[in-house]
Amino acid sequence: MKKITNILCIAGMGMMLFSACETDRDDNPTYHDASTFTLNEPENRVYDLGANDTIRLTLTQPDYGYTAATTYTVQVSLASDFAEDSYATLNTTYSSTSIALRPDEVNEALVAQYQEQHPGEETIGKTISAYIRLTAQITNSTLGASTSNVVALDQVKLGEVIQTLEPPTEMYLIGSTIGAGGWSTWLPMTIVNGMPGEFWSMVWFDAGAVFKFGTMVNEYIGYTDSRLTIDDKAKAGVSEAPSDGNIMVSKAGWYILYVKAEVKGSDYAFTMTFYEPNVYVFGATASGSWAYTDDWKFTVPDTKEGNFESPVLGATGEIRMCIQANTDWWRLEFTLKDGETIFYRENANVGNGWGDIGPEYVVSGEAGQKIYLNFANGTGEVK
């Protein structure tokens, strides 16, 4: 009897263990990678985007081994192979397996692609074939990256792209070495004269420095933002930081950071260009030179606190200074207000000289003198 009781106890313990294991499997499902998932074929008809026809999509969630909150991103293209740079990613994301695309977003993306391939051709009312695929990721996670199959839309009628957004009037930088550093200061960028939505700054980056930017304070736009394209002309070693989607600069030094914001329908597309920190003397004190030449280029310090130093001035007269980027020199001009504070032209009208806006903005130099600029503290002098 005792042996039977022991056997029953052991059996009971085994059943409890089996039950516990079953419970573990239910409560702690195993994650599976899912490289692809199914996007169902949409209704085969004419989609008139100019008339706000809605493209409706349905899909099967990626097989992660359990039902997970998932974020879906939409990509559209004129080419079925979705080769690199041949598609656009829409800004709106979705969390449902039933999706209604915004006609204005789809129209804007397809019109831009068509115009790039057929410059100058009218697009309003044009009927084209288009292709769609989705990408998925587990919400608020780095897991679950997956791409769907491609579906075709044989008859898509393009509409007018209506721009309701104006170019930004301000742009800011923030980061580990921006301003006072430590992500403590939103540094306003300088407006490019007569170029709405374009801005520049002379910035020092330590090796491995990270930063973001925004059209307003507390708008953190980083490397992973789909609206951003970066052109590293200065070979600064720009890449994605290991965390937080920051922009990272691997090579320490001074750089001209140039940001262009273009209106794309209801949002912006940003191009950020890194230029070498070239500063020049123009005009009378440059012996009458009004061109970018090495003879009148400042030397660049190798520390944040150092001074940019001009060549010896060749003549007496009003000093004109500028940085170099891919636009007219006078759009990037600056002076020394009261002879000591760097003052940027932005949209000021100084076609005849800085005296057009006041005598305090005119800085004069004499043959044999040099100009010293400290961009870290915004000061300068002529001596």
Tell me phi and psi for residue 109, to 5 degrees.
-65, -45
pLDDT digits (tens, 9 = 90+) for 334-345: 999 999 999 999
Max CA separation in the chain (angstroms): 118
Model pLDDT, residue 352: 93
Class of domain 172-275: mainly beta
pTM as predicted = 0.68
Percent of the chain surpassing pLDDT 70: 93
CB 198 within 8 A of CB 171: no
- What is the rounded average pLDDT of the residues 211-233? 97
- Dump strand ranges (E) for 206-354: 209-214, 228-232, 238-240, 247-249, 253-264, 267-275, 279-282, 308-309, 317-318, 320-323, 333-337, 341-344
- pLDDT(159) > 50: yes
Model pLDDT, residue 85: 80
Give the distance from CA 285 to its chain's centroid.
Answer: 39
pLDDT digits (tens, 9 = 90+) for 101-118: 999 999 999 999 999 999
Residue 161 confidence class, pLDDT cut points 50, 70, 90: confident
Handedness of CA 97, 144, 132, 112 (dihedral sign): positive
Helix/strand/coil for 296: helix
Give, as one character, the DSSP assignment of residue 308: E
- What is the rounded average pLDDT of the residues 202-226? 97
**Left, alpha or beta for 4 (phi > 0: left; psi -120 to 50: alpha)?**
alpha
Helix, strand, coil abundance in the chain, percent, nearest 5 = 15, 35, 50
Residue 70 confidence class, pLDDT cut points 50, 70, 90: very high
Residue 256 confidence class, pLDDT cut points 50, 70, 90: very high
- What is the rounded average pLDDT of the residues 55-84? 94
Same fold, 36-157 and 279-382: yes
Q: How far is CA 220 from CA 168, 172, 269, in A?
A: 15, 9, 15
CA angle 142, 148, 151 (to 5 degrees): 150
**365 vs 6 pLDDT, higher one:** 365
Per-residue exposure over 115-145, b if at least 16 CB sit within 10 Å of its own CB, e if not? eeeeeeeebeebebebbbbbbbbbeeeeebe
- What is the rounded average pLDDT of the residues 262-280? 93
- pLDDT(164) > 80: no
Q: Give the integer Cα–Cα distance in Å for 320 and 92.
A: 47
Model pLDDT, residue 84: 83
Model pLDDT, residue 163: 74
Q: Give the integer Cα–Cα distance in Å for 232 and 212.
A: 16
Model pLDDT, residue 32: 87
Mean pLDDT over the full length of the chain: 92
CA angle 170, 171, 176 (to 5 degrees): 150
Q: Give the integer Cα–Cα distance in Å for 159 and 106.
A: 10
- pLDDT(119) > 80: yes
Which fold would CATH assign to domain 279-382? Immunoglobulin-like (2.60.40)
- pLDDT(9) > 70: no
Q: How far is CA 60 from CA 322, 334, 350, in A?
A: 57, 58, 62
Give, as one character, the DSSP assignment of residue 289: B
Least-confidence region, from 7-16, 52-61, 205-214, 260-269: 7-16
Concatenated DSSP letters of 4-69? HHHHHHHHHHHHHHHHHHHHHHHHSPPP---SEE-BPPPP-SEEEGGGTPPPEEEB-----SS---
Task: Give me the amino acid identity at 333.
Answer: E
pLDDT digits (tens, 9 = 90+) for 174-186: 999 999 889 999 9
Model pLDDT, residue 4: 40
Helix/strand/coil for 104: helix
CB 109 within 8 A of CB 128: no
Q: Where are the domains of the chain?
A: 36-157, 172-275, 279-382
Model pLDDT, residue 27: 61
- The domain 36-157 having CATH identifier 2.40.110.10: the answer here is no
Q: Give the integer Cα–Cα distance in Å for 350 and 50.
A: 45
pLDDT digits (tens, 9 = 90+) for 32-51: 888 899 999 999 999 999 99
